Structure 1
Amino acid sequence: MLKIEKFAAIDIGSNAIRLLIATVIEREGSSPLFKKTSLVRVPIRLGADVFLEEKISEKNYHRMIDAMTAFSLIMKTHNVVSYRACATSAMREARNGTDIAASIFETTGIRIHIIDGTDEAAIIASTDLKDLIEDNKVFLYVDVGGGSTEFTVFANGKSIVSRSFKLGTVRILNDMVRESIWDEVRDWIKENTQQYSKINVIGSGGNINSIYKSSNKKIGKPLSYFFMSSYFERIKEMTYHERIFELQMNPDRADVIIPATRIYLSAMKWSKAKNIYVPKIGLADGIIKSLYNERAAKDMEVR
């Protein structure tokens, strides 16, 4: 007898807002199956507002209301049993972020949790990331967002050290990242990886997923430093419109792809990693896992 339920996660980032619906299938005596059922992505670039004006604009506030109303209806149609909406860098730094979250809840019924970089890293760590992190290997996990990038070093199957930097693709596009931030990231990576003889990078985020898809690599196989370097040089030489048409990128991906690739490439260089693995997991996946674990724990209490 199978138990089948749907859970949903809303990831409110600096570049886009995503709704992920996952079907969780349970069978007694087996580990649960998590199947991605639906993914809706809306390119509301909140970071362009916040990092320049320190607040979310009236226009984007109304776009968020429309998106959350739509997400609410989609979740209802799917019979979602539990959901969580988490907002990261942009809403965290917006002067009106808390007020807008309250207004969205009042208008749409969607409650938004504004989380910090540490919470974000912890949620992502609850995903299938642990299946990739082998006890005898060392990894630098790099999650690139529009407003910030989270770095975590994993060794002996455990998280050793983690840090969030205000180094995001939308910030870089708006020329809001000082050279000193790059220096801080470089020094942190070198300091926390130099004691290991061999390290690999794990990349997370929409941009590295886009790069991986274009590489035609077999799922599970890493991208090499040479590939990433060649890819970076190639996209830098193309115009914004060439990247959209020739590489078939979404317009809101075609500009951020350059700073994102630079971040991944820099992390590989500074950690002396030869490969980057792309397991296609992120904040939304972590939220789904957290919701399921919370529900499972509650069911055990009831019994």
Structure 2
Amino acid sequence: MLNIKKYAAIDIGSNAVRLLISNIIEQKGKPTLFRKSSLVRVPIRLGADVFLNQKISKENELRMVDTMNAFKLLMRSHRVVAYKACATSAMREAENGSDIVKLIKKQTKIKIDVIDGEEEASIIAATDLNQFIDRTKTYLYVDVGGGSTEFSVIHKGETAASKSFKIGTVRLLNDIVQKEVWLELEAWIKESTKDYEKIELLGSGGNINKIFKISGRAAGKPLTYFYLTSYYNMLQTYSYEERITELDLNQDRADVIIPATRIYLSAMKWSNAKYIYVPKIGLSDGIVKSVYFGTVSSVNLV
């Protein structure tokens, strides 16, 4: 006998806003299954406002309200029973972030929690990376976002170190990441991985997912440092317009994919990793599992 219900996660990032609806399948005497039912992505790019002007523009404020209303209707149509909405770097740093959270709650009834980098990393950890990794190996997990990137060293299935850095694709596009931050990241990666003989990367985020899909690699097979370097160099030979028309990238992907690839390559270089695995998990997946297991507070859909 199966018991199936739907939970949802709203991820309000610096580059895009996502709604993930998942089927939760409970089976007597067996592990619970989590199956993605629907994923909607809206490229509002709040970080372009916040990282340059410290506040979210009126236009994007209205887009956020419209998007949350649309998400609420989609959740209702899917008969979602509980959800959690999390906002990360851009909303956290916006001078008017708390005002917009209140406005959205008033106009859409959607409750948004603004979380810090450490909580973001812990929610992502709830995705149960163990099903994607070899517990005899050591990994550097890299989750690239628009405003920040979360790094975790995973040794024999356990998190040995983790840290969030304000290096993200939207920040890099706008040239507002100082050299000192890069140096701090380099030092942290080298120090955190120096005691391990061999490191492999786990990469998450929309950009590495896209690169993996383009590569044609079979699921579970890694990308090599050589492949990623070649792809990075190739991207830079095309203009932004050509990446859209000739490489078939969406307009909101065609610019951020270059700085994202730079972050992954830097992490591989500083950790001496030769391979990067792409399990296609992220914050939204972690939110759903955290809601199900009760490790974060959720909201019933009204």
Question: TM-score w.r.t. structure 1 length?
Answer: 0.96
Query: What do the CA deviations read for 1:53-107 (whole angstroms, capped 9, x no partner)?
Result: 1011110000000000000000001110100000000000001111110110010
What is the alpha-carbon root mean square deviation over aligned residues? 1.3
CA–CA distance in structure 1, aligned partners of residues 37 and 157 of structure 2 = 30
Residue in 1 aligned with 2:262?
262
Residue in 2 aligned with 1:67?
67
Structure 1 residue 148 displacement after superposition: 0.3
Query: What do the CA deviations read for 1:103-124 (whole angstroms, capped 9, x no partner)?
Result: 1001000000000000000000
Residue in 2 aligned with 1:163?
163
Which runs of structure 2 are paired with 1:1-303 in the superposition (5 Å)? Answer: 1-294=1-294
- The one-letter code matched in structure 1 to 2:137 is K
Structure 2 gaps of 5+ residues are 296-302
Query: Any idea what SS the aligned residue of 2:38 has?
Result: strand
- The one-letter code matched in structure 2 to 1:176 is I
Query: Any idea what SS the aligned residue of 1:140 has?
Result: strand
CA–CA distance in structure 1, aligned partners of residues 81 and 288 of structure 2 = 11
Check whether the contact 1:204–1:279 (CA below 8 A) recurs between aligned residues.
yes
Structure 1 gaps of 5+ residues are 296-303
CA–CA distance in structure 2, aligned partners of residues 5 and 40 of structure 1 = 19
Query: What do the CA deviations read for 1:235-263 (whole angstroms, capped 9, x no partner)?
Result: 01111011111111110000000000000
- The one-letter code matched in structure 2 to 1:257 is I
Residue in 2 aligned with 1:300?
none
Query: Any idea what SS the aligned residue of 1:84 has?
Result: strand
Considering fraction of residues, name the structure with more helix: 1
- The one-letter code matched in structure 2 to 1:254 is A
Query: What do the CA deviations read for 1:167-205 (whole angstroms, capped 9, x no partner)?
Result: 000000001011111111111100110111100000010
Query: Any idea what SS the aligned residue of 1:252 has?
Result: coil
Structure 1 residue 33 displacement after superposition: 1.4
- The one-letter code matched in structure 1 to 2:68 is M
Query: Any idea what SS the aligned residue of 1:32 has?
Result: strand
Structure 1 residue 133 displacement after superposition: 3.3
Check whether the contact 1:7–1:22 (CA below 8 A) recurs between aligned residues.
yes
Check whether the contact 1:148–1:167 (CA below 8 A) recurs between aligned residues.
yes
CA–CA distance in structure 2, aligned partners of residues 261 and 237 of structure 1 = 14
- The one-letter code matched in structure 2 to 1:284 is S
State the identity %.
62
Check whether the contact 1:236–1:258 (CA below 8 A) recurs between aligned residues.
yes
Check whether the contact 1:133–1:154 (CA below 8 A) recurs between aligned residues.
no
Query: Any idea what SS the aligned residue of 1:237 has?
Result: coil
CA–CA distance in structure 1, aligned partners of residues 65 and 122 of structure 2 = 28
Moved over 4 A (4+): none
- The one-letter code matched in structure 2 to 1:160 is A
Question: TM-score w.r.t. structure 2 length?
Answer: 0.96
Query: Any idea what SS the aligned residue of 2:31 has?
Result: coil
CA–CA distance in structure 2, aligned partners of residues 134 and 275 of structure 1 = 14
Query: What do the CA deviations read for 1:4-40 (whole angstroms, capped 9, x no partner)?
Result: 1000000000000000000111110111111111000
Structure 1 residue 130 displacement after superposition: 2.1
CA–CA distance in structure 1, aligned partners of residues 197 and 45 of structure 2 = 40
CA–CA distance in structure 1, aligned partners of residues 45 and 90 of structure 2 = 9
Residue in 1 aligned with 2:299?
none
CA–CA distance in structure 2, aligned partners of residues 45 and 63 of structure 1 = 11
- The one-letter code matched in structure 1 to 2:223 is L
